[in-house]
Amino acid sequence: MTKFLPSFILILLITLTPAAAQDSLIYESGGDLTPELSSFNVHFYDLDLKVNPSDSSVSGTVDIYFKAVQPTNKIALALDPRLNISAVKEDPAINGESTRSLKYTRSETDRTFYVYFPQTLQPGTKKTVRVEYDGVPRIAPRPPWDGGMVWEQTPSDDPWVGVAVQTIGAWTWWPNKDHPSDRADSVAINLTMPDDLIVASNGHLRGESVPEEGWKTWHWFVSTPISNYNVTLNAAPYEVIEKTYTSIDGTEMDIIFWVLPEYLEKGKELFPQFAEQLEFMEKIAGPYPFRADKYGVAHAPYLGMEHQSIIAYGANFQNDNMFGQNAGYDDLHQHELAHEWWGNLVTAWDWRDFWLHEGFGTYMQPLYAEHVGGREAYREMMTHLRARVIDDSDREVAPRQSMSSLEITQGTRGGNVYFKGAWFLHTLRYLIGDDYFFEALRRFAYPDPEMEKVTDGSHMRFATTDDFLHLTEEITGMDLKWLFEIYLRQPELPALYATRRAGFVRLEWQVPEGYRFPMPLEFYIGGEFVSLAPGDRGVISFEVDDHVEVEVDPYERILKTFELRTIGEDE
């Protein structure tokens, strides 16, 4: 995992506006895992699609290979009702024939359609369903924040096509099982488009073919598990910049940048940052996860998106796109790159833990600012992020109930998933110290160091907020449940009240009833730094001469609200 103020970081800050083929259709992904969804697991998708920029249409077939894990004769798939299904077939043969058509039902107001089998599928049964379909997919109203297909023109008036569907789901342009807990082990992406375009997608290119005059098919293959929303296409008359990169584990892999011809020189200037940022992320979080395929960047007609092994980049080839800060590097690219670990390697299996994508992904920018500009650059960026935390939010960052992609980003929660999530990591770093903190980052990405050596997909995994809690407790030997509860499981920020009078300083933490908050405080007192822990009532008090300067939390390490009470106020 995952921005215009002016950057992609705000992709989900804005409440999504439901749009629909019918007025009542809600564009969202995931949610409750129903019996019709949980009864089967998809292990392979085979997309064979014709994408026509002249009429913004998509047509073709998607073969869905799955295994039943519970007895069922009915499975749930998803496809936008604006797209026409011409047939659903069972176990298609290699030559395209099928043993039989299957009954299916769908609604004009729901993404879900149901496929029925004439017999109960027993646990362990492997089946393939082919969906033949066509139509004009939803055009993204405001990509990437409000997603769909993107049909634009290059400065030379050539087609420039992209996809941005994390906010709403891949069902908007191809049929699939729509739930984040189910990602196929591998995906074949065969895209037929006009032969004057270069078509880039996830994974590695297995070849090209010519199905008819004027058209070319690009055969891409993803060799590792991938979330549906990460499946993408990028098409334009691209120029290609590439180099061989040696990963931290010694593996050689390709870095490839597909860039519009009009921006080739700017692309060449930006290109060295890709390897520099890759090297930093590998030091922080372990080897780049998809070195069996590539690291790709596609020049996109929208700001950005973290599509696995080929991120979309549309940040105008300038540094400091994310926050308008003098970060000194291309922070839009760095954010999307970070999602190759936080989102694509480590994936939330329910949208309720989306902060694991976006909070972690956002915190990588101040870490990289610290790497290139030192501690002051880090503090400046954290100060900027602090201004974006919504203090009076009425929604927790990591709810315990299941969430859809729309629910997790509604109201005041949307921005806090990014910024409060990042600030939580900042405060955690202060509490446990750098050694433990960076060990926790590395082990959250790769729990076993031996996993860092593999590239076959077995290193990829699903995770939850509690997984990260248990990991940090195991590494530190500390009880950290209170910290996670306060910052992630309920919305109210801890409040620090301070009083100073007559040679006496008193500070008190206040949190919602039923919670505790034994957070130590750092003080700058008369030129020296001192750390003090609160007592059972959350109070810290000490004597100090009135003329001595006292500064609380001088480096702003703790996410909190602060109030200095004047003499005469109740304590």
- pLDDT averaged per 10 residues, the chain (length 571): 36 37 80 96 98 98 98 98 97 68 96 97 97 98 95 98 96 98 97 98 98 98 98 98 97 98 98 98 98 98 97 93 83 97 98 98 97 95 96 96 94 94 98 98 97 94 98 98 98 95 92 95 93 90 91 96 70 44
Q: State residue 188 phi and psi, 5-degree precision.
A: -100, 130
Let me know: does 297 contact 333? Beta carbons within 8 Å: yes
**Spatial contact of 5 and 160, defined as CB atoms under 8 Å apart:** no
Q: Which residue, among 294, 206, 210, has the nearest Cα to 258 in the 3D structure?
A: 294
Indicate the residue type of 369: A
Q: What strand order describes the sheet that includes 112-121? A: 72-78, 112-121, 103-106
Ramachandran region, residue 134 (left: φ > 0; alpha: ψ -120 to 50; beta: rest): beta
What is the Cα–Cα distance from 120 to 123, expressed in whole angstroms? Answer: 9
The two structure tokens encoding residue 213: 């005059």
How many CB atoms neighbour CB 190 within 10 A? 21
Secondary structure, 3-state, 425-462: HHHHHHHHCHHHHHHHHHHHHCCCHHHHHCCCCCCCEE
**In 3-state terms, the chain is what percent helix, strand and coil (to 5)?**
25, 35, 45
Bridge pairing between strands 295-299 and 252-259: parallel
CA distances from 495 to 168, 425, 519, 535 (A): 36, 18, 11, 16
Q: What is the CA radius of gyration of the chain?
A: 25
- Ranges assigned E (strand) in 195-303: 198-201, 204-209, 215-222, 233-236, 239-246, 252-259, 295-299
Number of H helices, E strands in the chain: 9, 29
Residues pairing with 348 in the sheet = 463
Cβ partners under 8 Å of residue 376, min gap 6: none
Residue 24 has what pLDDT? 80
What are the residue ranges spanned by the domains of the chain? 346-489, 495-565
* Separation between Cα atoms, residue 50 and residue 43, nearest integer Å: 23
* pLDDT of 331: 95
Question: Could you say which DSSP state residue 204 is in?
Answer: E
Q: How far apart are CA 171 and CA 82, in angstroms?
A: 11
Task: Record the tokens describing residue 352, joined without a space.
Answer: 């309720």
Instruction: Give the CATH number of domain 346-489; options: 1.10.390.10, 4.10.520.10, 1.10.510.10, 3.60.21.10.
Output: 1.10.390.10
Give the CATH number of domain 495-565: 2.60.40
- Tell me which residue has tokens 């602060």: 562
Which pLDDT score is estimated for 533? Answer: 93
Are 515 and 482 contacting, i.e. CB atoms less than 8 angstroms apart?
yes
| 106 contacts 62 by C-beta, under 8 angstroms | no
Tell me, what's the pLDDT at 91? 87
d(CA 183, CA 181): 7
From CA 498, how far away is CA 561, in angstroms rounded?
A: 11
Closest C-alpha among 277, 304, 300, 278 to residue 289: 278
